[in-house]
Structures are given as structure tokens and as C-alpha cells.
Amino acid sequence: MITEKQMQRAQEVLVTIENLAKKDFLPIIGPLKGKYLVEEIRKAKPKHVLEVGTLIGYSTILMGKELGRDAEIVTIEIHPDEAEQAGDNILKANMPPKVKIITGDAITIIPTLEGKFDFAFIDAEKTKYLQYLQLAEPKLHSGTVVFADNAGIFADQMSDYLDYVRGSGNYRSRYIQVGDDGIEISVKL
Ligand SMILES: C[S@@+](CC[C@H](N)C(=O)[O-])C[C@H]1O[C@@H](n2cnc3c(N)ncnc32)[C@H](O)[C@@H]1O
């Protein structure tokens, strides 16, 4: 369990990143859609989380502060500078779970990952969501929750992904509009 002091620390880091994101136009999930991410993490209580697209660690911290010491988040970021900043922020936030940041292209990294994931958060290159998912699929199980950001504003770019999770019969999927964007939450059958 996270202590009150740890929670406060994590919140402070989140607010700092939110302010930086406003100033520098960083595409973090943000507090509005982030509330849904937190809600799904609380419901799923995952022990092993895959994140595709770390940026500077905002969503990693958002999820991590909900998890215990027995959980692990594996997060992939293609840009070394962002991955390094994420490492600093995650260290500052001092959350209970283990966080493994992997720097590189998720397309080549996902096939090398070991174990099964209970939760996946996809938030990198929009036209590649379907590829990320299908590469990760052998490592998902029935009940794994796949949470995809930007399913509203980038619906066109990720239409193959949305068609797949909604129509393949492999997932139970729902779209939630949040402000001018949306999220797609898909549970593997
Ligand atoms: C929208 S941002 C992620 C925001 C972050 N999830 C958050 O809410 O704080 C997308 C990130 O994905 C990274 N990215 C893009 N293509 C990638 C790839 N093929 N593999 C790994 N990371 C990638 C980008 O460098 C960028 O930092």
C-alpha cells in the first residue's frame, strides 16, 4: 500500500508535469482522461502492466501510485531524452511498484518481453496501435484490460485498431468520450 506521504509526493510530481505540459504542449493523458485510467487500474488491480509511450512519466506515475510493491510496470519510450526525464520523475514520485523503463521502439521491444500482462496502456504512435496490440497479444490473457488514449481526436489514424478491438470478437470494447477526445477500453475475451 502507498503511504499518505508517498501519495502526496506522487501528486506533487504529477502537478509539476501537468504545469510543464501546459507550458511546453506535452501530450500527456492529463487529469481528465487520467481519471478513467486510474479508475480502470483500481478495478483491475494489475500485477504486471505494459505501457507503450512513456514520454516523461506522467501516466506511469498516475498508474503506479495505485499499485503495490508486488506490481511491476514495464514502460517503453523511443526517445532517450524523454525516457531519462521519465526516470527522474518516477524516482521523485517514489511509488511502491517496480518500474522498468525500456528505451527503444515498442515494435521491436514488445516481442522480447517476458510474462503475461494484466493491463496495457497504449499511447504512442497512433497509426501503430494495432501493431503494438497484436505484438502484445500473446502476452495478454482473458480479462486483460487494454486502455487506448486518443481514440477521439485520432480515430482516423487508429481506425484499423478501433475496427479490430470492436469487431474481431477477441475483445469486449467500449469508447468513452472525454471532453474533445476519447478513450477506448477493451477487455480481452
Ligand atoms: C502521447 S505521448 C505519451 C504520453 C504519456 N503516456 C503520458 O500520458 O504521460 C507518446 C510517446 O510515445 C513515444 N513513442 C512514439 N512512438 C513510439 C514507439 N514506436 N515506441 C516507443 N515509444 C514511442 C513518443 O516519443 C512519446 O513520448
pLDDT at position 51: 98
Task: Say yes or no: CB of residue 61 within 6 Å of ligand 1.
Answer: no
Arithmetic mean of pLDDT, 18-41: 97
Check pocket membership of 58 for ligand 1, CB cut-off 6 A: yes
Residue 1: pLDDT over 90: no
DSSP string for the chain: ---HHHHHHHHHHHHHHHHHHHHHT----HHHHHHHHHHHHHHH--SEEEEE--TTSHHHHHHHTTS-TT-EEEEEES-HHHHHHHHHHHHHHT-SSEEEEEES-HHHHGGG--S-EEEEEE-S-GGGHHHHHHHHGGGEEEEEEEEEE-TTTTTTTTHHHHHHHHHSSSEEEEEEEETTEEEEEEEE-
Q: Is 153 left (phi over 0), alpha (psi -120 to 50) or beta?
A: alpha
pLDDT given at position 3: 87
Binned at pLDDT 50, 70 and 90, residue 6 comes out as confident
Task: Specify burial of residue 136 (Cβ count, 10 A radius: 0-12, 13-18, 19+).
Answer: buried
Check whether 2 has a pLDDT greater than 90.
no
Q: Is 29 in the pocket of ligand 1 (CB under 6 A)?
A: yes
Which CA distances in Å does 34 have to 6, 24, 62, 78, 117?
A: 19, 19, 7, 22, 20
Averaged confidence pLDDT in the chain: 97
Per residue in 112-121, pLDDT (tens digit) is 999 999 999 9
Distance 100 CA to ligand 1 centre (A): 15
Pocket lining: 122 vs ligand 1, CB cutoff 6 Å = no
**pTM, two decimal places:** 0.98
* 14 CA distance to ligand 1 middle (Å): 17
Q: How far is the CA of 75 from the centre of ligand 1 (A)?
A: 10
**Shortest-distance Cα residue to atom 26 of ligand 1:** 55
Percent of the chain with pLDDT over 90: 96
Ligand 1 lined by 63 (C-beta under 6 Å) = no
Partnered with residue 120 across adjacent β-strands are 50, 146
